[in-house]
Amino acid sequence: MKARVTVTLKNGVLDPQGKAIEGALRSLGIAGIAGVRQGKFFEVEVEAADRAEAEATVKAACDRLLANTVVENYRVEIA
């Protein structure tokens, strides 16, 4: 089974990289961009009997390593 994990910074946490990208887009002349927040995306191959088990495995992976929940949120989708 495939899982897709998206890790994003929590609201209110400063994102200097997102700000730099936003500035770069502006300097490229791409209009209409109000803000950029940078995150991370993981594709995880899971061995599990069913979706619930796969989701539990990937959530454990997020809590223990993939995300730092002090400043990051994560979202898991099982494909």
Partner 1 sequence: MKAAVIVFPGSNRDGDVVRALRQAGAEVSRVWHAETALPAGTDLAVLPGGFSYGDYLRCGAIAGRANAMDAVRAHAARGGLVLGICNGFQILCESGLLPGVLMRNVNRRFICHRQLLRVERTDTAFTRAYGERQVIDVCVAHGEGNYYADPETLARIEGEGLVAFRYCDAAGTLTEDANRNGSVNSIAGIYSQTRTVLGLMPHPENFVEDLVGGTDGRGLFESLARAA
- Judged by the rule CB under 8 A, the positions of this chain that interact with partner 1 are 13-14, 16-17, 19-20, 64-66, 68, 70-71
**Least separation in angstroms between CB 9 and partner 1:** 9
- Residue closer to partner 1 by CB (options 26, 68) is 68
**Least separation in angstroms between CB 25 and partner 1:** 15
- Residue closer to partner 1 by CB (options 28, 70) is 70
Q: What is the Cα–Cα distance from 10 to 38, expressed in whole angstroms?
A: 11
Q: CA-CA distances (angstroms) from residue 48 to 21, 54, 55, 57, 60?
A: 38, 5, 9, 8, 14
Chain centroid to CA 71: 12
Closest by CA to 49, choosing from 78, 10, 11, is 78
- Residue closer to partner 1 by CB (options 15, 54) is 15
